[in-house]
Amino acid sequence: MTERDFDIVVYGASGFVGRRAVRYLAASAAAANLRWALAGRDRTKLEALAATAGNIPIFVADASDGDAIDAFVARTRVVLAMAGPFALYADKVVDACVRSGTHYADITGETPWVKTLVDRYHERAQASGTRIVPGCGFDSVPSDIGAFFLARAVQRELGADCAGIKAFFRLSGGVNGGTLATLMLVFGDAKATSAMRDPDLLTPPESRSAGPGAPRDPTVAAFDSDADGWIAPFVMGPINTRVVRRSAGLFALWNERYGERFTYQEYMSFPGPFGAALATAVATGTAFAQASAAFAPARGLLEPLVPKPGTGPSESAIEGGWFRCELTGKTADGRKLCAVLADRGDPGNAATVKFSCEAALALAKDTDALPGGTTRGGILTPATAIGDVLIARLRAAGMKFDLSVPAP
């Protein structure tokens, strides 16, 4: 990559999560010797926000203004996109990044849109060594980096490939208006909803034949011995599982596979005496919410009731949130290794900001240490694009990564 004026430009900086990202990067800027700028469509909001971050430069660029987007993309090493729905606001940004050889990270969970990026840009970005990395928020860093962390640990500690991983989530937090707008858009689009049903939506076609075929998404509550309790479908499972399977497929193509017939699935877990009732309630509620969002009349009733884009939980609610992801990995002969990933802060707001900002900093500042060397490119995932570099950064930022061997 030729020398650029900026390390990172935050696009969509004045949104709810974007503002928090600006605060996070401002706190890191001096130590990282960061050259950065903000971009978005509202000059007044950008100027006020830039003043809080040390009067850094701004670029006014509407999502439909290709020339304005090209102008800032060509001047930075990395674009960190924070404004969703990304299917509406990020197409021209990704296109400019691929043409300019600018690395890109975002916080999308819109896997049907990511599939369009794979179809349009993977080969071009791969050829130029440009890393386009969707899904660097809570969708889908704990899942993708967690599976990578555990699969490699199984290979290292148990001396065998990892046959499969199950992830069990517990969390507490709120939802911002941008996330809800994205969910409404995706579930309101029949074509996108149909695409999301494909468990191998993002898996490279060349690697699908090497596996057993991805399992269908869970739909009901059940008892699981690995979780030692009741489980229910995780609302983000249809997003995260596709990302993890893309990582496994790409690694397999690069002869760095997790396991020959690797599988991955994830759930919400409910330990304790009320686990069965809670898991059943969550499974039923999740199915009802998804059906309602897909049904136009019901969606019309819901939309006025949900938070608007640009709004979100209170500061105290964000600081009081948390998540815990417990993963169980197995070898083909049944041996197990477990991992725990955990952090404080609302998953969709605080954790998402930490994950995405550290991903962008890694792409901008740790180029020589990134997996695959300087030539790796394409529509990648957090694990395949950043891998151990992101784990090290997140650990340094306070996130927990632990391994354990389960009792017989």
- Dist CA 150 CA 401 (whole Å): 10
| pLDDT higher than 60, residue 364 | yes
Q: How far does the chain reach from its first CA to its final CA, in angstroms? A: 51
Q: What is the 3-state secondary structure (H, E, C) of the chain?
A: CCCCCEEEEEECCCCHHHHHHHHHHHHHHHHHCCCEEEEECCHHHHHHHHHHCCCCCEEECCCCCHHHHHHHHCCEEEEEECCCCHHHHCHHHHHHHHHHCCEEEECCCCHHHHHHHHHHHHHHHHHHCCEEECCCECCEHHHHHHHHHHHHHHHHHHCCCCCEEEEEEEEECCCCHHHHHHHHHHHCCHHHHHHHCCCCCCCCHHHHCCCCCCCCCCCCCEEECCCCEEEEECCCHHHHHHHHHHHHHHHHHCCCCCCCCCEEEEEEEECCCCHHHHHHHHHHHHHHHHHHHHCHHHHHHHHHHCCCCCCCCCHHHHHHCEEEEEEEEECCCCCEEEEEEEEECCHHHHHHHHHHHHHHHHHHHCHHHCCCHHHCCEECCHHHHCHHHHHHHHHHCCCEEEEECCCC
For residues 81-87, average pLDDT: 92
User: pLDDT-derived band of residue 311, with 50, 70 and 90 as boundaries?
Assistant: low
Token pair for residue 364? 């901008």
Q: What angle do CA 382, 384, 386 make, to 5 degrees?
A: 55
Q: Amino acid letter at 242?
A: R
For residues 27-41, average pLDDT: 94
User: pLDDT-derived band of residue 183, with 50, 70 and 90 as boundaries?
Assistant: low
Across the beta sheet with 76-81, the strand order is 58-60, 36-40, 6-11, 76-81, 103-106, 131-133, 378-379
| pLDDT higher than 60, residue 381 | yes
Token pair for residue 98? 């691929």
- Dist CA 252 CA 211 (whole Å): 10
User: Which of 183-197, 229-243, 281-295 is modeled with the greatest confidence?
Assistant: 229-243
How is domain 6-138+351-394 classified at the architecture level of CATH?
3-Layer(aba) Sandwich (3.40)
| pLDDT higher than 60, residue 221 | yes
Q: Please give the pLDDT value at position 213.
A: 62
The DSSP letter of residue 373 is G
- Dist CA 116 CA 110 (whole Å): 10
Q: Lowest-confidence range among 1-5, 173-177, 359-363?
A: 173-177
- Dist CA 326 CA 146 (whole Å): 9
Q: Please give the pLDDT value at position 135.
A: 97
| pLDDT higher than 90, residue 160 | yes
- Dist CA 94 CA 80 (whole Å): 11
Name the residue with tokens 């409910």: 270
- For residue range 135-151, what is the model confidence (pLDDT) as tens digits? 999 999 999 999 999 99
What phi, psi does 256 have (nearest 5°)?
Answer: -125, 40
| pLDDT higher than 70, residue 179 | no
- For residue range 261-282, what is the model confidence (pLDDT) as tens digits? 899 999 999 998 889 999 999 8
Mean pLDDT in the chain?
Answer: 90
User: pLDDT-derived band of residue 301, with 50, 70 and 90 as boundaries?
Assistant: very low
Q: Please give the pLDDT value at position 298.
A: 46
For residues 2-31, average pLDDT: 94
Domain extent listing, the chain: 6-138+351-394, 141-346+396-404
| pLDDT higher than 50, residue 299 | no
% pLDDT > 70, the chain: 87
Give the bridge partners for 76, in sequence order: 6
Q: Please give the pLDDT value at position 207.
A: 83
